[in-house]
Structure 1
């Protein structure tokens, strides 16, 4: 009875102690059957074990090496949950509003035209420079260590003839801050500036080769 102390005999206590590893429900059933004490509830058996420090030995955690009971089993949605589940390949909310289909073109922060080529991962590989795509369609893969230089200074002009493969190290010689200001130079001077920069780069590479 609630609020009333339950008394146990030494035999009953010994019985419970020796079976402490059992589940509490099974232990309670055996206790009631053996001693004929239906007034003793499952919660009271639990409380007795707790007071005595008698444990089943289970922590409630998966032990290392234990296989979960539901491993490999499907977990289908039940009830109306399937109606709100994300469908494979679908997008919704803000992602749907921002989505750009494959083939979309945009101007990046550096002023180059880019094209979306796939929806996969990583994210940064989804967009590729249009002038690079067109140049490689005509000339094949860009050589390792090279970059494409815009000849007329208009980065949105993606014609392959407007782009030239140069050593990446040459770009600094053509830059505007410490180089020769190629992009801002008059059109008639651009070929001369590029030729001089290429000669300087070639001389530098030859000197480095002799020094090593």
Structure 2
């Protein structure tokens, strides 16, 4: 093994490859190129000496976190070009035997800056097929919507979609009433199907913080007070058991607070 002496060439290479990479990957690349066996700590020290920054988050993310695992994420990245969301969803489902929707693919692409490259806008000079047909009846009365007939974009009860703002899975529970009342959080529907309506002042939360993991064992009923305390103290963890332990701790803190108030008021 050659003696570990940092040369200017090595420092230049280190500076070139460091942005956007974690020290584990950097060490592998440096060792492969120069035939050394630098440790992660030695790479960190070398970067520090030359004030080289990687500009990455403090903790390296788990590539299998989220809706897709690392292999599926790489597959989506490699096949996103030239496919509409539904086409890509069908391809992913066929490859990995999943059941993701076009909406889930759209949100994933948006969150990971993936672009299909398909231009869906009208090009300059292009004439839409219905130009000049205002008021024109096509197909006769037989093809027009009749009273009580569902429109072509009707979604039946039980249809699921992803809330693009918060990432929750919504399920359609009714056809009538206000639009916002026709859809309900799927995890709440599941919890209530076993336990009855969610009590006032409580919410149903995900124990492992994964909004796609909609199973009874991953759902916990939390009061608003418990929720505030858990968020404040960082009791919500990606490990469901740790979160459930945090819920117990939050409950103990609240009970202690109640007892202290009772003692204080009793003295007064």
The structure number with the bigger radius of gyration is: 1
TM-score (norm 1): 0.49
TM-score w.r.t. length of structure 2: 0.39
